[in-house]
Structure 1
Amino acid sequence: MKALVLAGGAGTRLRPITHTSAKQLVPVANKAVLFYGLESIAAAGITDVGVIVGDTADEIRAAVGDGSAFGLDVTYIPQDKPLGLAHAVLIARDWLGDDDFVMYLGDNFIVGGITDLVDEFRRTRPDAQILLTRVSDPRAFGVAELDAAGQVVALEEKPEHPKSDLALVGVYLLTPAVHDAVRAISPSRRGELEITHALQHLIDTGAAVRSTIVKGYWKDTGNVVDMLEVNRTVLETLERRIDGQVDDASETIGRVVVERGARVVNSRIVGPVVIGAGTEVVDSYVGPFTSVAENCRIADSELEFSIVLRESSIEGVGRIEESLIGRHVEVTPAPVVPSAHRLVLGDHSKVQIHT
């Protein structure tokens, strides 16, 4: 069995972060989202991995390499444009051969991994197996309709009027039967080859498409709110570890990780928090559910429920929360300027100004 990992796409919902960085490499708890997926694939006993790459191919290659760091053998498959999940299957046809495979969206996050799901698929081997989860607004997802027996009868991509609240999770377990299906469909109104249409083709031609409702935690980390929520979830699993320097004037409370080479000076850290290697926290407060990457500086500031990427500084700015701060960023106080009002008033005007 192989794995096909999708690591292309523009990441428009995470801009401006993704103007200069692949969305799959934005870190949660100081580790790229993509790495969690690769680790889950390796833990499931799959070692042969094809990675679909687009405009950020060089960055993905530099981060993942040949896959040996994850116990994987990685092959890169270029995709000129993000033309849909089924298109990714189409261009990977030669590499996939006649093997079963798991298709894993590189910006998705599943707590607990996929080992049990892969084992079930290997044991029962339907033509395709999809994962579903209940969501509050299904219109943003592919949506499944089940019959009274729980069998998949219909799939629809981002419907205006969803027939259920069951959204497709970004992990698909597939047999070679899917290759005929992706060749049989036409582009959607979005101009993409939709995997939901390919799966519907399988259903319409009598193939066995089974579903599993994900009971654990799943998130598509495509926007800032979800990225912060995944960061919170991962930080909840931290075990306290202080490898860096914490002076006597500082206090660390709860699940706090201070990596080797980091310094905490006259500050209060309330976990779960991770402070990256080489980072300095001086005269500051870092509150729960915050990850600060390597070689940052936090001084005379408060930070909570946030992600700070590497080599950024936050100095003298009071409190920051619910924020995603990119790499090489400088956050400083605005210069003090005299308070003034600028007015253009017509004749006989009456203006009240608070002073």
Structure 2
Amino acid sequence: MQAIIFANRIGDELAPLDQHYCPALLPVGNKPVIEYTLEDIATSGISEVKLIISSQAQEVEQQLGDGERWGIRIEYFLSKPQEKTKSVLNRLSLPSNESILIIRGDIFRSPCIASFINFSRQFPNEFVQAKMANENAGMSMLPAAQPYLDGIDWPLINHGENNSVVTLVLHGLCNMLDSFQAYLQVNLSLARNDIPALTPMERSFTSANPEQDFYVGAKADTQGLDKQHAWGIIGENSKVDPSVEMKNTVIIGNDTLIDKGSVLESCLILPHTYVGEGLEVNNSILCKNLLINLNTDGHILVDDQALIGPSQLEANIIPSQTHFMTRLFILAILLISLPFWPLLATYSLIRVLLLKLKAKPIIQEMINDNLGQSLVVYSFNTPTRIISLLPQLCLVLTGQLDLFGAPAQIRYASGQNKHRLGVFGPVQLLLDEDAPEEERSLLMLEFDNNSSNTKYLSLLKQSLFMPKALHSQESVNKAIY
């Protein structure tokens, strides 16, 4: 049996936390939530997994790898953000007579997959609906679930009382992670050992609380936990000053620094976060420079690094990723092509006049470069994209753009700061300016995850012989694959 895990949810209901994590990678007890599903999958005996990912595909694949550490094999498939289940499955060309588990990997549930599979096998021709804590547990079994696939789309829906539906009530916790309160509560439940069959992996340290202990990760610098009237989880490589006071349940992520005199109570501090001296945090979620107050459901971005911020300051200037020899080659191309630029400008003018185009012969745009600065760029109004973008190669020489990368104008629903910006890329060369934002994002994701050594050469070759008006999705797919 194989499993298809859907982890393509955007998580905009958790904004602005979604700018740092997609739901599948949200840490629960310092472990991404999708890893709990993978562990449960492996325990159930399933070894083949198709993982449906979207806007943060690279981060998911980097975190999970090929699945070897769980004894499974993961095969990744890209989808549009929150694309309908039926649409994705149609593209996978699945066997029609094979039992296949479909499950959401971006919600938290107690271990239950083996029980669900064993129960479903008793009703091979019936749709089995799993409920846990009165919630849709986000699991189905093909082919019986074929008419009910909308139930696993986000947000999840229950099919109610239907004679053709068999309902399995499972015991345990099912959390949709669809609000700040829900996200905090699942972490607190794990820290309090309220979830059957799940215990934090860190070492146990006695606290002053007679009922609960602390779980502390490797290389964490903590002193005096036995005097704290609190309990919780402290992640790897984190440091908590001895003068810090903790109350109730506290979860501290990996690589986190809590400075002296701080007071933490019923809070969740996500990895790579610094909490400054004397700061009081109560019923809140902290993520780098983002503070979410759960008393008011409001959030603020803190600019003062002395209060909260990344535990290791990120460099403001990202060095160019374009190789020195490549930049020399680009310089040679610019020197050779420079005498032809007046001819290209003249051609662009004649084309605009003859075709009565609304655009100007020389197109001017304002963009943000790789250094976070705004600047004006120019391009020729020619039908061949690679030629029209020649003036922007100057920015590659200065390190402001890469040769290949996402367009500087692109806007992603999430993860927008994690893409290097470039002059050439599949969006710039293969899509029209009026292409839907969803199509632009998906195309960029597909190209980023293509591991072929010749993908850049194929892209340039394709763009040379593809006029702007003739771009089609079929041509795009050929260029990518």
Q: Give the alignment's TM-score, normalised by structure 1.
A: 0.69
Q: Deviations over 1:105-154 (max 9, x none)?
A: 1122222332212111123324321112565xxxxxxxxxxxxxxxxxxx
Quote the offset at 1:58 in angstroms: 0.6
Which residue does 2:276 correspond to in 1? 315
Quote the offset at 1:264 in angstroms: 1.6
Mapped to 2, the partners of 1:180 and 1:113 lie a distance apart of: 23
Mapped to 2, the partners of 1:193 and 1:294 lie a distance apart of: 30
Q: Is the 8 A contact 1:242 1:257 kept in 2?
A: yes
Which residue does 1:210 correspond to in 2? 166
RMSD: 3.4
Q: Is the 8 A contact 1:90 1:179 kept in 2?
A: no
Which residue does 1:263 correspond to in 2? 221
Identity %: 19
Specify whether residues 96 and 42 from structure 1 end up closer, same or farther in structure 2 by C-alpha distance, changes over 3 A only.
farther
Q: Is the 8 A contact 1:303 1:319 kept in 2?
A: yes
Q: Deviations over 1:19-55 (max 9, x none)?
A: 1322211111111111111111111111111110111
Which residue does 1:279 correspond to in 2? 238
Mapped to 2, the partners of 1:51 and 1:302 lie a distance apart of: 41
Which residue does 1:116 correspond to in 2? 115
Mapped to 2, the partners of 1:104 and 1:320 lie a distance apart of: 36
Quote the offset at 1:97 in angstroms: 5.6
Mapped to 2, the partners of 1:62 and 1:169 lie a distance apart of: 27
The more displaced of 269-278 and 294-303 is: 269-278
SS at match of 1:5: strand
Which residue does 1:220 correspond to in 2? 176
Bigger RCO (CA 8 Å, 6+ sep): 1
Mapped to 2, the partners of 1:265 and 1:171 lie a distance apart of: 43
Quote the offset at 1:303 in angstroms: 1.3
Q: Is the 8 A contact 2:4 2:100 kept in 1?
A: yes
Quote the offset at 1:251 in angstroms: 6.4
Which residue does 1:345 correspond to in 2? none
Which residue does 1:33 correspond to in 2? 33
Specify whether residues 41 and 241 from structure 1 end up closer, same or farther in structure 2 by C-alpha distance, changes over 3 A only.
closer
Q: Give the alignment's TM-score, normalised by structure 2.
A: 0.52
* The structure with more strand, counted as a fraction of residues: 1
Mapped to 1, the partners of 2:125 and 2:236 lie a distance apart of: 46
Q: Is the 8 A contact 1:266 1:284 kept in 2?
A: no
1:170 to 138, 143, 147: 138
Quote the offset at 1:59 in angstroms: 0.8
Structure 2: 5+ residue runs without aligned partners?
194-198, 291-303, 309-481
Q: Is the 8 A contact 1:129 1:211 kept in 2?
A: yes
Which residue does 1:128 correspond to in 2? 127
SS at match of 2:236: coil
Specify whether residues 260 and 34 from structure 1 end up closer, same or farther in structure 2 by C-alpha distance, changes over 3 A only.
same
SS at match of 1:27: coil
SS at match of 1:305: strand
Mapped to 2, the partners of 1:239 and 1:195 lie a distance apart of: 28
SS at match of 1:31: coil
Which residue does 2:466 correspond to in 1? none
Specify whether residues 324 and 117 from structure 1 end up closer, same or farther in structure 2 by C-alpha distance, changes over 3 A only.
same
* Larger Rg over CA atoms: 2
